[in-house]
Amino acid sequence: MAFASVNPGDDFFWIYSPNLRGFQESIIWRFTLGLCWYLLHLFVTLVHAGSSLIHALVCYSISSGLLRKYWNLDLSNLKYLGIVVDSEQAKNTVKIKRLLHWLSSTGVKNVILYDMEGVLKKSIGSDHSSSDSKNTHFEGMVIELLSFSDNKEGVAKAASFLCSKYLKSNPAVSDRVEPVFTEADMDDALMAVGCGGPEPDLLLVYGPARCHLGFPAWRMRYTEIIHMGSLKTMKYGAILKAIYDFSKKHQNYGT
Amino acid sequence: MDIKMKYKRENNSNSRSSIFGRIWFSLRMFLFSVLSFGPMPAHIAFIMDGNRRYSKKHNVKQGSGHNVGFSALISTLQYCYELGVKYVTVYAFSIDNFKRKPEEVQSLMNLLTEKIDEMLEETSVVKEYGIRVNFWGDLNLLTEPVRLAAKKAMAVTAENTGPVLSVCVAYTSTNEILHAVQESCAEKNNSMAVGYSNGRINSSEGLLSVADLEQHFYSASFPEPDIVVRTSGETRLSNFLLWQTSFSHLQNPIALWPEFSLRYLVWSILQYQKAYPSLQEQRIRSKKTH
């Protein structure tokens, strides 16, 4: 456990009864703390269960067509949709294909599929091979496949590219001024080394927790990140809801 | 921290010298001991969003929303450190925020200067806990008084060994990456000036590595954040620590930043503890494959 600097329990007893300091190291004290901790987490689990039940009901009524506002989704702000899948779950190609089928039926045109270990690059990429290596097509959608190596390693490649250009620009070391690059330079360099691309407007995370798992940092400045739960329990209604909520979102980009 | 010193502080401070203050303090300490039974975060990052919305909601001047937000920050900091969280990072002002109305930017800059100076006062939480204060961002974009105040705060607290507070001002994550690229390129250039004659560069492949870049991040030598909290329910990171949050638990409590209180912090740690095993597994898997 990373917790070492301060033990709050120390203060608690120091103030009221310094003699009891030995007690807090005792089994009874540890047991009491542990019991309270488990009770607290039981409460958290119950709250989660309650909210996921409500969520499931909402998703069911959306996918069964009960709620009229979800019939026609406004996709004008959703140019690129990103999907992050936990690599372990991404091995289930049947589920991934069903997910892609659902996405195409919502009318989304561009999808960026990401998993850390590059499982999808192998399974989806090789299935639907097309002329250019990075993109593939699926039921009328263009799909870009990304993995962990497209994030930091991609930036390092682009940095090397920029740096070598800078070093070559002026052959005499002493004549060189401090390097100054702009974000546009970086965009171009990323494109040149094959790690560039558009930023997804909405990122759906299929995994155990709300975490982007190393999605390319340069490509998610203002991306809305939504946790969709595990791929096993994915729901069509949940996708419709996420896209609908996104279409109602207002971003002011810092202003 | 020296417990006796802390006891003295608790006794001296007016708010806690009353009997209720003492009871509240020990209840809180008990709650924190219970929480510490599970895995605890070492680094929490906050996007302090919602000060303006708070002003609007309560029909007060915009500045007072930011003021209440600052008090929320101080109490959150105190709770974090009582919990043993060693690193707290906050997003105070983005480079994109310079696009706001000039009057608003100016008043925010004034507020920032005032609050930084306040933090260095004898009675402040910074003194009490021996906090080291860092400022991350392109400080050259700030007005002179803020820049000087920030530099002073960093210099004064540089030797402190307590918890670390990093304030992101004139910061964006992409700017931090760009800054790291520039710095490592300049470093490469210097090492070539010393080592080789007129730098023979044939291919750009592997000229700079990820590790080269990471040395020049503001966050170099910091652990990655375990939790990123964005208040007011927004789900984007708005160009904050994008590089460092690969395995961070992203949370978006509905409360506006000035309303962010102890119960939200406790809830957020409970959520983190629930997610911890799977996040840890991902972290280990990423190390294995890369």
* Residue found under tokens 């490592």: B184
Q: Is the domain of A37 the same as that of A15?
A: yes
Measured in residues, chain A has a length of 255
- Would you tell me which residues 3-42 of chain A have a C-beta closer than 8 angstroms to some C-beta of chain B? 3-12, 14-16, 33-34, 36-37, 40-41
Beta-ladder partners of B151:
none
Q: Is the domain of A52 the same as that of A123?
A: no
Q: Work out the average pLDDT over B112-140.
A: 91
Q: Does residue A113 lie in a domain region?
A: yes
Q: What is the pLDDT of residues A202-214, one digit of tens each?
A: 999 999 999 999 9
H or E element, residue A136: strand A135-138
CB B85 within 8 A of CB B41: yes
pLDDT at B21 over 80: yes
**Per-residue tokens: B73:** 């920050």
How far B267 CA sits from the closest chain A CA (Å)?
9
Handedness of CA B35, B83, B46, B221 (dihedral sign): negative
B117 is a catalytic site residue: no
Question: What mean pLDDT value characterizes chain A?
Answer: 87
Q: Is the domain of A194 the same as that of A128?
A: yes
Q: Binning pLDDT at 50, 70 and 90, where does residue B203 land?
A: low
**Residue among B3, B110, B89 at smallest CA distance from B46:** B89
- Partners of A168 on chain B (C-beta within 8 Å) are 201
What are the φ and ψ backbone dihedral angles of A137, each rounded to 5 degrees?
A: -120, 145
**Residue among B104, B84, B80, B79 at smallest CA distance from B93:** B104
pLDDT at residue A253, as a whole number = 78
pLDDT at A178 over 90: no
pLDDT at B24 over 80: yes
pLDDT at B162 over 50: yes
Testing the interface with B: which of A30, A35, A45, A173 to mutate, by most B Cβ within 10 A? A173
| Residue A4 C-alpha from the chain's centroid | 31
- Would you tell me which residues 99-128 of chain A have a C-beta closer than 8 angstroms to some C-beta of chain B? 116-117
Q: Work out the average pLDDT over A35-55.
A: 96
Alpha helices in B91-221 (DSSP H): 102-119, 125-129, 144-157, 173-195, 210-214
pLDDT at residue A87, as a whole number = 92
A172 touches chain B (CB under 8 A): yes
> d(Cα A11, Cα A17) in Å, to the nearest integer?
10
Q: What is the pLDDT of residues B30-50, one digit of tens each?
A: 999 999 999 999 999 999 999
How many CA atoms, within 13 angstroms, populate the side-chain half-sphere of residue A213? Answer: 33
Q: Is the domain of A143 the same as that of A92?
A: yes
Q: First-to-last CA distance in chain A?
A: 41
CB A214 within 8 A of CB A151: yes
How many CA atoms, within 13 angstroms, populate the side-chain half-sphere of residue A50? Answer: 6
Q: Is the domain of A136 the same as that of A214?
A: yes
Number of domains making up chain A: 2
Q: Tell me which of A4 and B85 has the higher pLDDT.
A: B85
Q: Give the CA angle between residues A207, A53, A96 to the nearest 5°.
A: 30
How far B33 CA sits from the closest chain A CA (Å)?
5
Helix axes B62-82, B262-289, angle to 10 degrees: 70
Q: Is the domain of A222 the same as that of A126?
A: yes
ipTM: 0.89
pLDDT above 90: percentage of residues in chain B: 76
CB A14 within 8 A of CB A21: yes
The CATH number of the structural domain formed by B39-172+223-289 is 3.40.1180.10
Q: Is the domain of A115 the same as that of A234?
A: yes
- Partners of A161 on chain B (C-beta within 8 Å) are 204
| Domain hosting residue A198, numbered range | 74-152+185-247
**Per-residue tokens: A101:** 């089928």
pLDDT at residue B158, as a whole number = 94
Q: Is the domain of A189 the same as that of A107?
A: yes
* Residue found under tokens 């207002």: A250
pLDDT at B7 over 50: no
